[in-house]
Amino acid sequence: MSVRRLPVYILLDTSGSMRGEPIHSVNVGLQAMLSALRQDPYALESVHLSIITFDVEAREYLPLTPLDQVQLGEIQVPSSGATFLGAALELLIRHVDRDVRKSTDEAKGDWRPLLFVMTDGSPSDLHDYRQAIPEIHRRHFGSIVACAAGPKAKDEALRELTDRVVRLDTLDAAAFSGFFKWVSASVAVGSSSTGLEGPVALPPPPAEVQLVL
Torsion of CA 188, 191, 192, 197, to 10 degrees: 130
pLDDT at 63: 96
Q: What is the pLDDT of residues 76-124, one digit of tens each?
A: 888 777 899 999 999 999 999 999 998 888 888 899 999 999 999 889 9
Q: What is the pLDDT of residues 59-85, one digit of tens each?
A: 999 999 999 999 998 998 887 778 999
Give the HSE-up count for residue 33: Cα atoms under 13 Å, Cβ half-sphere: 29
Q: Does residue 213 surpass a pLDDT of 80?
A: no
pLDDT band at residue 154 under the 50/70/90 scheme: confident
Average pLDDT, integer, range 125-147: 95
Q: What is the pLDDT of residues 37-57, one digit of tens each?
A: 999 988 899 999 999 999 999
pLDDT at 194: 52
pLDDT at 170: 84
pTM for this predicted structure:
0.91
Q: Does residue 209 surpass a pLDDT of 60?
A: yes
Q: Are 80 and 141 in contact (CB under 8 A)?
A: no
Beta strands in 17-171 (DSSP E): 47-54, 58-66, 114-119, 143-149, 165-168
pLDDT band at residue 177 under the 50/70/90 scheme: confident
pLDDT at 39: 92
pLDDT at 203: 74
Between 164 and 80, where is the model more confident?
164
C-alpha span between 183 and 198 (Å, rounded): 19
Q: Which helix (H) or strand (E) holds 6?
A: strand 6-13
Flag the least confident range among 139-153, 168-182, 194-208. 194-208
Percentage of residues of the chain with pLDDT beyond 90 = 54
